[in-house]
Amino acid sequence: MHRRTFLTGTALGAALTALPSTARAATPVTSLAALQTAIDAAAPGAVITLADGTYTVPSGQPVTFKDKHGTEAAPITVVAQSRGGAVLKGKQSFAFQNSDNITLSGFSFRQSETLDVPPDCTRIRLTRNDFQLADIEGVHWVMVRADYSKVDRNHFHGKSTLGIFLGIEGAGTDGMAQHVQVLKNYFSDHSYAGDNGGEPIRLGVSPRALSSAHAVIEQNLFERTNGDPEAISVKSSDNVVRHNTLRDSRGGIVLRHGNGTQVDSNWLLGGQEGVRIYGNDHLIVNNYLSGLTGRALVIGSGTERDHLPGEPADSRRGNDAPDRVVIVYNTLLDNADGISGESQRPEEPRDVVVADNLLVGGAGKLVAMAKTVRFTWQSNILFGAAGDGNIPATGFTRVDPKLVAGSDGISRLSAGSPAIDAATLQQTVVTYDIEGNTRGKAPDIGCDEYTTEAPVYRPLTPADVGPDAA
């Protein structure tokens, strides 16, 4: 099947390989002092193993990588003797300074301060770790500010206070780390009850909105992530959020600040919030939103038309009205609301395309937009007891799409569905559907292309992600 090759995250064959094949040290080091000595002496390709046990790192004396340089082919790797068997307590476990191509794997992080990956480093990898830091108000658990870093196959869980699981920022006040990959992680059980500040992933902050990050947030599972209405909070530009599963969670995917992000082939199941959009030139494609008790897909309003280079950082805290967003090939099924707008801010969304989407509901309205300018509504299918709402009559057909629920609870097109080969948007935005199957020359409406081919992607389960994932 064909894939869009411009996305950094598609080169996952190399990116997702296991640790280097170099054999681990024959005798694990058994103290933090010995670990530091081994790191200080490490050359590219070194693999240093820390024996299982609980280690309390003295305050002000983290294990430090200073001026240590592996290579892409031969990183310096520090690994627990058994996965999760080396437990790190104290204020700070590891610190990084002017280092690159470093891998930390298999640790149980139980420290009380943020694990920081600073911008003077590159290619730092955190893989197959368990993060359950001390549950202290306001502490962010991991902050990545180094280019080309990778956070993969970790479990972040068990926070009930203000603070995020994973943040990605950059140098200075407005820069973003470049090409960070976040994949196959398991984010679960964030129960902070406040209205803001408990995101599992925060990709940028408002002053960094116009900085392109080129991050890929891919194949992560979110369950019971209830610390914030935004499970994936994007506050930077030019990112990809795809093939993630959000289940039974308060939080959704929110493009809060920034432009040019692709939200592609995500499953949002049985939670509260769906996808919410601000900013310009986004692509929202192939997503499946089902059983949400809140707003499924919100095309927001703005306090200002656009954020602009050189503006004061504080001015970027407001909402940027959506312009030139394309919303295509999505399926919205049995949510409390369908596609909706906002009226509490003065700047309306403009030049948005809403085409070839499938909306099915049993109550309420499937479309409830506030003021819009130059919207294109085209070849959508609406069905169910829910009302049409204020979608233009020329922008949809009301017809039974003949969905059939599979053993996994996901509803897909069946043979004879009027959605098959019925999409009409002329521009080619993707050549595949949510399950990775090829869309033909006449694509189907909704996220699922009718086919007898086996799916490449399905909704994720805990067995697919975290420290023991393939």
- pLDDT, residue 245, reads 98
Using the predicted structure, report yes or no on whether residue 17 has a pLDDT greater than 50. no
The confidence score (pLDDT) of residue 19 equals: 52
pLDDT at 2: 30
- Mean pLDDT across the stretch 252-278? 98
Residue 25: predicted pLDDT: 52
Q: Please provide the distance, in angstroms rounded to a whole number, between the alpha carbons at the two ends of the chain.
A: 22
Per-residue pLDDT for 161 more than 90? Answer: yes
pTM for the model stands at 0.94
What band does 86 get if pLDDT is binned at 50, 70 and 90?
A: very high
- Copy the structure tokens of residue 299: 């095309």
pLDDT of 244 > 50? The answer is yes
Distance (Å) of CA 19 to CA 23, 65, 247, 266:
10, 19, 30, 28
Q: What are the boundaries of each domain within the chain?
A: 114-464
Residue 9 has pLDDT above 70, yes or no: no
Whether CATH 1.20.140.10 fits 114-464: no
Contacts of 276 (CB under 8 A, 6+ apart): 230, 252, 253, 254, 255, 256, 295, 297, 298, 300
Confidence of residue 11 (pLDDT cuts 50, 70, 90): very low
Residue 305 tokens, joined: 């038309």
Residues sharing a CB contact under 8 Å with residue 377, sequence separation 6 or more, in sequence order: 354, 355, 391, 392, 394, 395, 396
Neighbour count for residue 384 (Cβ, 10 Å): 18
The whole-angstrom separation of Cα 355 and Cα 365 is 18
Q: What is the pLDDT of residues 19-72, one digit of tens each?
A: 543 335 558 999 999 999 999 999 999 999 999 999 999 999 999 999 999 999
Question: pLDDT tens across 217-242, in order?
Answer: 999 999 999 999 999 999 999 999 99
What's the mean pLDDT in 91-109?
Answer: 98
In angstroms, the CA 60 to CA 63 distance is 10
pLDDT exceeds 70 at position 14: no
| Confidence grade of residue 189 (pLDDT, cut at 50, 70, 90) | very high
Q: Band the pLDDT of 10: cuts 50, 70, 90.
A: very low
Chain mean pLDDT for the chain = 93
More confident residue, 440 or 383: 383
- At 400-432, the pLDDT tens digits run 999 999 999 999 999 999 999 999 998 889 999
Residue 101 scores a pLDDT above 80:
yes
Per-residue model confidence (pLDDT) at position 21: 36
pLDDT at 7 over 90: no
Instruction: Determine what percent of the chain is predicted with pLDDT higher than 70.
Output: 94
Confidence check: pLDDT of 12 > 50 = no
Per-residue pLDDT at 396 exceeds 90: yes
122-146 residue pLDDT tens: 999 999 999 999 999 999 999 999 9
| Tens-place pLDDT, residues 291-349 | 999 999 999 999 999 988 888 877 788 899 999 999 999 999 999 999 999 999 999 99
